[in-house]
Structure 1
């Protein structure tokens, strides 16, 4: 971990945040653009959608800390929208740039978040929780999505994800 967060309750989540920041890039390493949009005759979310939803999640969370950067995800993921069959999703390269652009400012916000800030209400369609609860959920979801991308790597014939 780069720096200890102000709030002790964020310590473990910040450790995971930093790991996920690197792991997503490793999960996406060498994935061909055409493969990123394959669904292999299923209704499963493809790599591009999974990646975009995780990127969108960080940008959305960042707004809670008054970080208002724009990403290439546009409206594709607004209101937790699922995959759109005929949508033109941004490239893995665009998502990677967005990920790198948001990750450091959001990390700094997490490191500087006070318990008072973390106790603020957080609302999304159909759900009410604290900001801390949303950060916890987002951390869980990032791990889940990175695991899905790692599985897609193998299903598409790529080598397993390299964690080093």
Structure 2
């Protein structure tokens, strides 16, 4: 771990965050843009949507932590929008640029966040959760989505994701 978090609650989250920052890019490595929007004649979310959704999630979390950085690829993901069948999603290269733009400042915020801030409530449609719970959920969801992209790689005929 590069930096010890201020809150002991954040230690495991920050370790996962650092791994997932790298794994996400590895999962996307070499995927053609045409394949990124291929749903293989299913109703499943394609790689481009999954990618954009995860990137959007980091920008949302950053905003909750007071980071004012704008995404270049987030328009199709506002208000947690689901996949739009006939939409053309941004390129994976553009999603990667946004990922790299937000990941470092968000990591700093995650290591500096206080227990008091983590205990604050976050308004969600129909419920309230703490900021810590939102961070935990986002970390879980990122790992899940990286796994989905890794599965799509294999379904589309790509080599499996490399972890090293």
TM-score > 0.5, shorter chain as reference:
yes
1:69 partner SS: coil
Counterpart mapping for 1:70-149 below 5 A: 70-149=70-149
Gaps of 5+ in 2: none
TM-score of the two chains, using structure 1 as the length reference:
0.98
Structure 1 residues 13-22 or 117-126, which shifts more?
117-126
Instruction: Check the 8 A contact 1:79/1:125 in 2, yes or no.
Output: no
Q: Give how far 1:78 is off.
A: 1.3
Q: Distance in 2 between matches of 1:8 and 1:110?
A: 11
Partner in structure 2 of residue 47 of structure 1: 47
TM-score by length of 2: 0.98
CA shift for structure 1 position 71: 1.1
* 1:72–1:90 CA contact under 8 A, matched in 2: no
SS class of match (1:77): helix
1:12 maps to what in 2?
12
1:47–1:19 Cα change, 3 Å: same
Q: Which stretches of structure 1, 4 residues or more, deviate above 6 A after TM superposition? A: none
Instruction: State the shift of 1:73 in Å.
Output: 2.5
Work out the CA distance in 2 between the residues paired with 1:155 and 1:126.
36
Report the alpha carbon displacement of residue 74 of structure 1 after superposing the two structures with TM: 3.1
Asked if the contact 1:4–1:11 (Cα under 8 Å) also holds between the matched residues in 2, the reply is yes
Measured after TM superposition, the shift of residue 108 of structure 1 is 0.2
Aligned length: 164
- State the superposition RMSD in angstroms: 0.7
The 8 Å contact of residues 52 and 74 in structure 2, kept in 1 or not, is answered as no
